[in-house]
């Protein structure tokens, strides 16, 4: 049966190609010839290899091998990965409403989602899951745990949890529900009537959520500007991106054009509604992790001169994927087209069909990038992601912060603090006493770190000893090392503000949920604050939109 499944699956892929596209006779013959060879190789090895072969794993390896010759966005989804498709397209799945991750070998609750079974029944961030339905899960990877927690809405999940401050494990009986993952994770006002909307993904409801956010902002006050934050948004549905742009640009505006393999496969997407925020100053925040649908939105807003793009250059993904259902509840996400912004440029940076001699995909050199113009005549480049109109660099964190974050010390201290202080709110702040408590907590956890200066000095010492430099030089290095130790001892004082901000976010997140955490982060978010100031300055905003 497994052999039949694999062969039927491959035949299904070919049948789909044959039905969906016109192919010339020569190509059709090549496909049939190679399918026959592939099928024979698969059958012979599966039945005759000296060791027993798992036919499904073997076929999966063959599919993965074929897809590796293409771009990384063409992906095969097996029958157990249907929930991933639902999450991509609909933004929903069956679960109990928790975000989990690995911490110190334990599967730990990172955040319960507001309004679902886990949060309503008292599961908290920092809780360690030790059993699911009677099965111990220590050292299990997060994906395996997710597959055990997710399932049909209306069914039960039994969890045993360890919580700091509790003498013994806690038992929970949670009910799976249809989890709707929000596209807009936060919206609210900053200063001077500037509204802020953070969009994390592009599923089918994204446009409706953005529209609702704008309505709520208008109902609360005079909306003088909007920041649409697409930082770290990896994208999603093309139609959702078109829907969102339609909220800001004139009806009938060209938003994006897609072109497939054949010349007759071009499709133009336009704004098909009157905008709800057509004349409000707009800024779109992007960074290197803003990709795909995020870049469709940013590219359209930039090319139509509807608003300014702020932050850092985006990822540079100008490819469109289509999800095609196959046999046996499997699916293929395949790149079927390139997309072009209203000015006609493709922002795709990496050429996935060509590699250099080291096997690295080629990137379009600056000399081969072409200039295009926005509606106002501003110059923009293709093959370059979306370059911001106003570059605002992201904050660079200290070595101390990075090491604390890498070892989850902020997260762990927040768990410890909340176990001792059960009540708090969104207005929580970190004073000197709490910062001192954090420093003492790190001592109990035996936290140590090396900054860049120490590492460089250690490397230099190794070279000097290898080259047999004099003892005087080695002594000088030792003197520098001792001085660095003294400086490192004052790291808490030098980076106090940075540490306060992160601690505040973590602890407020425990008391006020994800929305509270985001709101707390905005008070010290350099890029957001600078963008709000730009929107508040009519002169500065207008100047950026001129050629």
Active site residues: 292, 303, 317
* Structure tokens that stand for 237 in this block: 């549905």
Name the burial class of residue 533, with classes exposed (0-12), middle (13-18) and buried (19+) by CB atoms within 10 angstroms of its CB.
middle
Could you tell me which residues are beta bridge partners of residue 228? Answer: 197, 284
Closest C-alpha among 344, 347, 353 to residue 314? 347
User: What is 22-88 written as a DSSP string?
Assistant: ---HHHHHHHHHHHHHHHHHHHHHHHHSSS---HHHHHHHHHHHHHTTS-TT-EEE-GGGHHHHHHH
Angle between helices 496-522 and 432-444 (to 10 degrees): 110
Spatial CA neighbour of 9 closest among 47, 33, 40, 35: 35
Question: What is Dmax (Cα atoms) for the chain?
Answer: 80
* 289 to 204, 233, 315, 338, 398: CA distances (angstroms): 21, 6, 6, 19, 21
Dihedral, 185, 190, 194, 196 alpha carbons, nearest 10: -10
State the DSSP H helix or E strand holding residue 215, giving kind and residue range, or none if neither: helix 206-220
3-state secondary structure of 109: strand
In 3D, which of 267, 257, 266 has the Cα closest to residue 340?
257
CA gap 541, 284 in Å, rounded: 12
Q: Check: CB of residue 461 under 8 Å from CB of residue 473.
A: no
Distance of alpha carbon 30 from alpha carbon 20, whole angstroms: 17
Non-local (6+) Cβ contacts of 471 within 8 A are none
Sign of CA dihedral 236, 238, 239, 241: positive
Both tokens of residue 479?
Answer: 């003197």
For 248, half-sphere exposure in the C-beta direction (CA atoms, 13 angstrom radius) is 27
CB atoms near residue 26 (< 10 Å) = 8
d(CA 527, CA 53): 54
The answer to whether 317 and 292 have CB atoms below 8 angstroms apart is yes
The answer to whether 176 and 156 have CB atoms below 8 angstroms apart is: yes
The runs of H, that is alpha helices, within 367-451 are: 399-406, 409-420, 432-444
Quick one: 312 exposed, middle or buried, by C-beta within 10 A (0-12, 13-18, 19+)? buried
């Amino acid at each position: 049966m497994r052999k039949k499944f694999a062969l039927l699956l491959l035949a299904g892929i070919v049948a789909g190609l044959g039905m969906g596209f016109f192919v010339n006779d020569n190509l059709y013959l090549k496909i049939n010839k190679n399918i026959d060879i592939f099928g024979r190789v698969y059958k012979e090895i599966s039945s005759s290899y000296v060791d027993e072969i798992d036919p499904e794993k073997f076929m999966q390896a063959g599919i993965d091998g074929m897809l590796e010759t293409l771009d990384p966005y063409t992906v095969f989804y097996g029958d157990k990965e249907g929930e991933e498709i639902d999450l991509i397209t609909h933004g929903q799945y069956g679960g109990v409403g928790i975000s989990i991750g690995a911490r110190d070998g334990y599967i730990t609750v990172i955040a319960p989602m507001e309004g679902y079974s886990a949060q309503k029944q008292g599961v908290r961030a920092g809780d360690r899951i030790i059993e699911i339905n009677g099965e111990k899960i220590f050292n299990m990877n997060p994906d395996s745990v997710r597959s055990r927690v997710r399932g049909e809405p209306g069914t039960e999940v039994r969890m045993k949890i360890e919580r700091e401050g509790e003498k013994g494990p806690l038992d929970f009986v949670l009910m799976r529900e249809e989890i709707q993952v929000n596209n807009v994770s936060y919206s609210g006002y900053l200063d001077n009537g500037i509204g802020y909307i953070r969009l994390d993904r592009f599923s089918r409801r994204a446009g409706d959520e953005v529209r609702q956010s704008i309505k709520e902002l208008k109902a609360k006050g005079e909306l003088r500007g909007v920041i649409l934050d697409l930082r770290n948004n990896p994208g999603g549905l093309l139609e959702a991106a078109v829907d969102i742009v339609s909220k800001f640009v004139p009806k009938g505006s060209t938003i994006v054009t897609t072109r497939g393999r054949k010349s007759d496969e071009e499709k133009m997407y336009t704004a098909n509604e009157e905008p709800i925020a057509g004349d409000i100053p707009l800024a779109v925040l992007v960074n290197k992790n803003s990709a795909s649908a995020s870049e469709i939105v940013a590219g359209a807003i930039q090319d139509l001169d509807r608003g300014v793009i702020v932050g850092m250059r985006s990822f540079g993904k100008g490819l469109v994927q289509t999800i095609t259902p196959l046999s046996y509840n499997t699916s293929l996400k395949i790149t079927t087209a390139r997309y072009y912004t209203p000015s006609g440029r493709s922002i795709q940076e990496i050429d996935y069909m060509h590699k250099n001699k080291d096997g690295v995909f080629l990137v379009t050199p600056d000399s081969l990038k072409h200039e295009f113009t926005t509606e106002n005549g501003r110059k923009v480049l293709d093959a370059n992601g979306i370059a911001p109109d106003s570059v605002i660099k992201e904050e660079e964190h200290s070595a101390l912060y990075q090491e604390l974050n890498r070892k989850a010390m902020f997260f762990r201290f927040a768990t410890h603090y909340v176990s001792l202080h059960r009540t708090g709110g969104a207005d929580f702040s970190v004073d000197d006493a709490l910062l001192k408590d954090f420093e003492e907590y790190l001592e109990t956890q035996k936290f140590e770190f090396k900054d860049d200066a120490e590492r460089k000095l250690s490397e230099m010492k190794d070279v000097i000893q290898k080259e047999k430099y004099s003892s005087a030089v080695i002594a000088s290095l030792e003197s520098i090392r001792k001085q660095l130790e003294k400086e490192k001892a004052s790291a808490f004082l030098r980076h106090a503000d940075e540490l306060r901000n992160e601690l505040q976010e973590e602890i407020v997140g425990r008391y006020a949920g994800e929305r509270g955490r985001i709101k707390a982060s905005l008070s010290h978010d350099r890029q957001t604050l600078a963008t709000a100031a730009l929107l508040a300055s009519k002169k500065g905003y207008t100047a950026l939109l001129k050629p």
